Structure 1
């Protein structure tokens, strides 16, 4: 099947009370691991490309790999731009064939964030591409995007309502205590804030920086309305661990297939666990 908009996946998740995993890719093996896990769990899945992934692998390569994966898959697959930072870049990803984009205007004043998101929506809606936006600042580092811990701001529920009503965006990423990258301690999510936002905003909520968040916290977030959960760091950790284990066992190994094959299996196992945690297994 062909790539599908994230909106389609999240509308079904909203009706049935689960979340869809959005997994960041950087190369062929990661995309294969994401799709292998989705097929094994019979789950819809979102392949995400961040600023760093696009810079590393190239836009054309990422789109080509994702389209091949979707064409061969039996489950719904979306290709999503993670943290688009400019109108021009978002338009470029739409032209290349992304089925979903994120316009991250969270560093802008509310009115400017609304304005640029509406500009993106005007184009995206015309070509059937779904749009995610962000309010609040999520701490940590996402490739070239860094928000210092002291600058990380939680999403204001009333601003979320105003933003959602003004834009009609398909999904909204909010800041409730998660962070990009590896956690230094256990994250504490602001569930009352999430519950308040969900009562005011009648669209799917997105949770960024979810690697390292305890399973019980993820389950509670989904119960309260999160419908898209982003995972990147856990995949990177599995990849590197798999490579290191092969090299440690045989330092003289030079066959990339024998090095990357086990890493791909390790990533697939982690992604399958996340899919079951999110409740999307069997929903594809």
Structure 2
């Protein structure tokens, strides 16, 4: 079926009180794994591309792969720009066929972030593309974007309310203790802050970044009590991809057929993505 917008998927998730998985892709095998897992679970799914993915694969390849995967699927698929850093990049992704974009203006003062987000919204709304905004800095490293621990600050609930009211974003990513990349220990999430933000903006789906190392019980709590309706997963997919390749090489060090190395990697990715879909409550929601 044709690709849909993230806003469509999250509207249903809000009604059903579950979260939709947003899985980062970098190549064909990852795209195939994402959609195969979603098909197996009968779940809506978001394929998302980061700065690094676009730089590595090229925007045309990313769009073509996602569009083909969606066309051949029987479940709703959206294509989302993860951490768009500029108005120009968001517009390019919209023009190329993305059905959703994130404009990450969190490095700017609140007024500038609102203004930048509204510029992107003006273009996106005209063509039915959804927009995710962010307020507060989410720690860790994602591709070329790095936020040191000393630079992380959590989102102020009052500022979150102003941001959402003055932009009308389709989804909102606050900072409440998650981080990109692999965690060194158990993340300490500020649930009181998240739940306060949710109480102030109950109609706006909340997005959870840096979710790969978050314990299952914390994920469930964020969905049930924090209004989280979109959950981003990248690191877990990378871990399983590499583990699959390593295992295949260990079994046959002389192997030179890439298909016999990447095939097992794809199966391991499908397994972890299905596990996450079930955890998020979106299994059977297609």
Scaled to the shorter chain, the TM-score interval is over 0.9
Tell me what 2:253 maps to: 251
How do 1:1-284 residues align onto structure 2 when only pairs under 5 Å count?
1-201=1-201, 202-224=203-225, 225-284=227-286
User: Which whole-Å CA distance do the structure 1 matches of 2:35 and 2:243 have between them?
Assistant: 20
Q: What SS does structure 2 have at the residue aligned with 1:48?
A: strand
User: Which whole-Å CA distance do the structure 1 matches of 2:25 and 2:134 have between them?
Assistant: 20
Structure 1 residue 43 displacement after superposition: 0.0
Q: What SS does structure 2 have at the residue aligned with 1:56?
A: helix
User: Which whole-Å CA distance do the structure 1 matches of 2:285 and 2:125 have between them?
Assistant: 25
Report Cα offsets for 1:224-248 as digits up to 9, x if no partner.
2100000000000000000000101
User: Which whole-Å CA distance do the structure 2 matches of 1:279 and 1:206 have between them?
Assistant: 15
User: Which whole-Å CA distance do the structure 1 matches of 2:200 and 2:34 have between them?
Assistant: 33
Q: What SS does structure 2 have at the residue aligned with 1:26?
A: coil
User: Which whole-Å CA distance do the structure 2 matches of 1:86 and 1:71 have between them?
Assistant: 29
Q: Note the aligned Cα RMSD (angstroms).
A: 0.4
Structure 1 residue 174 displacement after superposition: 0.9
User: Which whole-Å CA distance do the structure 2 matches of 1:234 and 1:216 have between them?
Assistant: 17
Q: What SS does structure 2 have at the residue aligned with 1:54?
A: helix
Structure 1 residue 154 displacement after superposition: 0.6
Normalised TM-score (structure 2): 0.99
User: Which whole-Å CA distance do the structure 1 matches of 2:11 and 2:192 have between them?
Assistant: 23
Structure 1 residue 148 displacement after superposition: 0.1
Report Cα offsets for 1:145-179 as digits up to 9, x if no partner.
11001111111100000000000010000111100
Q: What SS does structure 2 have at the residue aligned with 1:82?
A: strand
Q: What SS does structure 2 have at the residue aligned with 1:265?
A: helix
Q: What SS does structure 1 have at the residue aligned with 2:3?
A: coil
Q: Could you list the runs of 5+ residues in structure 1 that have no partner in the other structure? A: none
User: Which whole-Å CA distance do the structure 2 matches of 1:205 and 1:69 have between them?
Assistant: 26
Q: Could you list the runs of 5+ residues in structure 2 that have no partner in the other structure? A: none
User: Which whole-Å CA distance do the structure 1 matches of 2:268 and 2:150 have between them?
Assistant: 35
Structure 1 residue 36 displacement after superposition: 0.3
User: Which whole-Å CA distance do the structure 2 matches of 1:103 and 1:50 have between them?
Assistant: 12
Q: What SS does structure 2 have at the residue aligned with 1:134?
A: strand
Structure 1 residue 74 displacement after superposition: 0.3
Structure 1 residue 60 displacement after superposition: 0.1
Report Cα offsets for 1:125-145 as digits up to 9, x if no partner.
000000001010000001111
Q: What SS does structure 1 have at the residue aligned with 2:4?
A: coil
What is the count of residue pairs matched by the alignment? 284
User: Which whole-Å CA distance do the structure 2 matches of 1:159 and 1:96 have between them?
Assistant: 33
